[in-house]
Amino acid sequence: MAEPKINTSYNDESIQTLEWNEHIRRRAGMYIGRLGNGDRQGDGIYVLLKEIIDNSIDEFSMGFGNRIVITIEGREVSVRDFGRGIPLNKVIDATSKLNTGGKFDDTNFKKSVGMNGVGTKAVNAMSSEFYVESFRDGQHSFALFSRGILKDSGIGDSTEKNGTFIRFVPDHEMFGDFAFNMDFVESMVKNYSYLKKGLTLILNGVSYKSENGLLDLVNENMSETPLYPLIHLEGEDIEIVLTHGNSYGENIATFVNGQNTRDGGTHLAAYREAIAKTFKDFFKKDYKPEDVRQGVVGAISIQIQEPIFEGQTKTKLGSTYMWEKQEKNKDGTVKRGDDGTALIDRGPTIRSFVNDFVTKNLDNYLHMHMDIVPVIEEKIKASQAEREEISGIQKKTRERNKKANVYNRKLRDCRYHYSDKLPKGKEEEGEKSSIFITEGDSASGTITRVRNANNQAVFSLRGKPINCYKESRKKVAENEELNLLISALGVEDDLDNLRYNNIIVATDADDDGMHIRMLVLTFFMKYYPDLIRRGHVHILQTPLFRVRNKKETRYCYSIDEKEEAVRKLKTGVEITRFKGLGEISSNEFVDFIGDNMRLDPVKLAEEESIPDIMEFYMGDNTGERQHFIMENLRSEEELEDVNI
């Protein structure tokens, strides 16, 4: 039988021109990253909110308005600032015409977060209702939109103070059954207050204001006692905070122009390099950077002109220079060289700017506070000694495993990785790269058969890994399973070498599976907490039930979903309870790790103490933990109760 022919005609009718709002709605990922329903801190509804607040922050940064009022009631958001207000005759253009805005000329907004004239338009296009009103010098201008389509507008007199008011409701057609997590919003607002001293932000009636900037941020979020008082250094366009604790890894918050760059970027790389270099030079010893930075807690904030972020969500700085712009003639035209190319005015590199500031000021601080110097060097030496001991043990363990060919049996790798420099067109594969950490051959075999081999790898655990909380670092280093996992992830030397963007713990939803899950998460919390802080670690949710009749099948992840499915499917219903990943057939499982994959991100609030968390879940407080489990988990009997 011949295969049907595919219509490949390419003619005038094939070319489409989308309206600005339709383009944003169809290509939402280009503008706000993922959509989401509000369960994750990076979901689109928070990006929309941030885009509006950023504009108000930029007004404050330019010296106009020291108060921003934010109100969230259900799904409706409003933001009122007291800056200059949008020019009255440009209210519609500024909120509904792409590449239109006041931030292209850096005389008006020198160090702004949003520079591309897109943010507010994206909010407009993705909102079922968007209302903007500007107040300037006794007049006001307003515009009302729905999904980017203008519904009403007007201009007239007003007694309101100058500024801008925006109200919007994210569109349920795009975000589904969404809800704002106020903990996420509060964290965002707090960060703004820390970074903009003198600015008051009022969220649902509660005021947030910082007197000491980043020092307040780090102090209030410290989850352990620092080894020495926090070092706080400020300069033009840069502010840093630094101390050491006894935890593993590094915990450094980063910001650019008030934007929380949770994925770091060039400024974080420069700061990490500068810390290591300064301490090495001060002590005149060739300490390794990882020993100097082990246990570092701190923050860095810089102000630059026309920042380049990787992605519209602005979570990672990509800029190389403090500024980089075309040179202009007096008449405003672009200066050009003899060959006709535009001349570029480049400032110092971010690397040199941060290095110079840290090297000079941190060195001066150390010479003026000699009492903390022995404490710092003792910490560095302790980190060095532990690393050298552990490194030797890990090397021997890996060599033994390599000879036994254990590694290849445990890891089913993928083609593209997060750390790869991928060719154009394949970058998304790196962003999607995932590794499933499974238990046993059955589960790993099921996932291996149905995974996308381009970007999904599978690592199979053999039994339960050791409890890292109770064991010494040396005992952990000798553990075959965890050594192989570290090798698979690529983080032996530096987290920046991480091979997979998503680390997904995929265990059964029974007692053993839950225990294994906690053991794996304990390992990450103790030795690689930054993987959690950066949002790389997730838990795979797989269905507990299959509910079906002759016409339809539904997969349910909770008892409530099962009961709803039973009501919808009504008669002739068959219910299956899945007790393990291996019980789900490959042809069913493919959808659970595909486009409809449900992942619960593992989150650590900045103020949460990792030792306290591990003590509660993995320590000796058996009675307290049992009470918590009984109060919060469904029993097996409840899950087995499938009576209709």
C-alpha neighbours within 13 Å on the C-beta side of residue 572: 5
CATH 3.30.565.10 fits 20-208, yes or no: yes
Instruction: Count Cβ neighbours within 10 Å for each residue of 448-471 and write b for 16 or more, e otherwise.
Output: bebbeeebbbbbbbeeebbbbbee
Query: How does residue 109 score in pLDDT terms, banded at 50, 70 and 90?
Result: very low
Residue-wise pLDDT for 462-472, tens only, equals 877 888 887 77
pLDDT for 642 equals 45
User: Does 545 score more than 50 pLDDT?
Assistant: yes
Residue-wise pLDDT for 69-78, tens only, equals 999 999 999 9
pLDDT for 332 equals 76
Quick one: which H or E segment has residue 590?
none
User: Where do the CATH 3.30.565.10 domains begin and end in the chain?
Assistant: 20-208
Average pLDDT of the residues in 22-29: 76
User: Does 393 score more than 80 pLDDT?
Assistant: no
* Alpha-carbon distances of 293 from 69, 242, 316, 394, rounded to whole Å: 39, 10, 21, 21
Q: In this structure, what are the phi and psi dihedrals at residue 155, rounded to the nearest 5 degrees?
A: -145, 145
- From CA 597, how far away is CA 591, in angstroms rounded? 7
Query: How does residue 13 score in pLDDT terms, banded at 50, 70 and 90?
Result: low
Tokens 């016409």 map to which residue?
A: 551
User: Where do the CATH 3.30.230.10 domains begin and end in the chain?
Assistant: 214-381
pLDDT for 314 equals 62
Looking at mean pLDDT, say which of 161-175, 303-317, 440-454 comes out highest: 161-175
The DSSP line for 91-103 is HHHHHHSTT-SS-
Average pLDDT of the residues in 376-405: 77
Work out the angle at residue 62's Cα, subtended by the Cα atoms of residues 61 and 65, and round it to the nearest 5 degrees.
Answer: 75
Least confident of 106-110, 175-179, 312-316, 375-379: 106-110
Average pLDDT of the residues in 553-578: 88
CATH 3.40.50.670 fits 404-542+578-620, yes or no: yes
pLDDT for 110 equals 47
**Token digits of residue 575:** 């219910």
Task: Kindly state the percentage of the chain with pLDDT values over 70.
Answer: 85
User: Where do the CATH 3.40.50.670 domains begin and end in the chain?
Assistant: 404-542+578-620
Average pLDDT of the residues in 521-533: 87
pLDDT for 115 equals 41
pLDDT for 264 equals 86
CB of 163 closer than 8 Å to CB of 81:
yes
Average pLDDT of the residues in 397-402: 62
Determine the topology of domain 214-381 in CATH: Ribosomal Protein S5; domain 2 (3.30.230)
Mean pLDDT of the chain: 83
Residue-wise pLDDT for 346-384, tens only, equals 888 999 999 999 999 999 999 999 999 999 999 999 999
User: Does 386 score more than 50 pLDDT?
Assistant: yes
**Token digits of residue 96:** 């509904």
